[in-house]
Structure 1
């Protein structure tokens, strides 16, 4: 009888371990809006809203909003100064206090062409004001570098690939995460593009897998001259 009880207990414990949901085992979903609104020949407004989930459309992870003013030195070089707000659930499939943060950011964007390939380099500097667990406030300086390469498949379809690395300058071990992914962009018209892809987030101790679905909106408010 004791052997039977021991076997049943071990089986129950094994089942619980196997049934436990882990964030690294889930295929999450990101739903994204990115906008660029041209105000004049040199200035444009950058807008963004992302909604991110641990699972395809459930288990909230993060939402982030961004607003920035962009200045173009020339067609290949521009900068953006802006602010963003984010809130995040720190744990998957269990209760946790949300994290809230405000960020100031500065972007240097460089673009180039390698034959038919278009390449974009973005260097981002962030000052993050983080509030979590009700009583903890932190200030952190981050640096991010993103390389994005696209290739046209037709007049309406293109394929892209990207890699972005994140460094936290306030930590002795500065590496925070690395994003690597690829996908497709469909040009609906001169103002709207649709985006779908897959990428992985490499953290120091785990790798997260995510689907991306987005809309890209480009508008032009500057006066047209004849």
Structure 2
């Protein structure tokens, strides 16, 4: 009887632990590719592909692809016009209808230099065409502001911190998310960098923890070959 009681208690604890499992308990991971491909003195092509998971390599959350055309007014000011496509799973560790989004976006990018510190500001306007739960279609206007500050530790290593806030202009309560994080960038050569970081996603209801593992590819097709 004593062994049976212990077994029942252990079963209850295991069941309760599993029942309490949530997205907030997990350390999710984002696998990222970001690219900038210079086409001329003023124009460049921006490319991106992200694969995002609630856990390390499982429990799919979202994948997103982005393509944009960038125009540089000067070394400190540029704009990007682009489009993106995303799919997402609305729930963790349970079945749910996927979310599909087609977006247009417009970026204003500003850069400031404070000695060795580089501060980058990005203001993004998004027009999101959202399809979810099979028969629900929505159109939403979002605005995002991102501040990214970096500091070189050596010729090949730098550290960065960032904060990005998301507002949904179609809601009365417009705050949607806030991303805050830090990490390191390692320069392999003039074309390839590696990004490793950690950040938190804060929403009105939850706080999610994420790792960032990424590749940054920069190419230059503007140079004339002889």
Same fold by TM-score, threshold 0.5 exceeded? yes
Alignment of 1:1-226 (within 5 A): 15-20=14-19, 21-224=21-224
Gaps of 5+ in 2: none
Deviation by residue 1:161-217 (Cα, 9 ceiling, x = unmatched) = 000000000000000000000000000000000000000000101100000000000
In 2: Cα distance, 1:83 partner to 1:101 partner: 11
- How high is the TM-score relative to the length of structure 2? 0.94
Tell me, in whole angstroms, the C-alpha distance in 2 between the residues paired with 1:15 and 1:136: 38
Aligned mates of 1:11, 1:35 — CA distance in 2 = 51
Using the size of structure 1 for normalisation, the TM-score is 0.94
**Superposition RMSD in Å:** 1.9
Q: Structure 1, residues 32-63: CA drift from partner, whole Å, max 9, x if none?
A: 00000000000000000000000011100000
Aligned residues: 222
Displaced runs of 4 or more, over 6 A = none
- Distance in 2, matches of 1:107 and 1:190, equals 25
SS at match of 2:158: strand
Output the CA distance in 2 between the equivalents of 1:116 and 1:222: 28
* SS at structure 2 position matched to 1:94: coil
In the aligned structure 2, how far is the partner of 1:155 from the partner of 1:57? 32
1:114 offset after TM fit, Å? 1.2
SS at structure 2 position matched to 1:18: helix
1:13 offset after TM fit, Å? 5.7
CA distance in 2 between partners of 1:17 and 1:170 (Å): 39
Q: Secondary structure at the match of 2:16?
A: helix
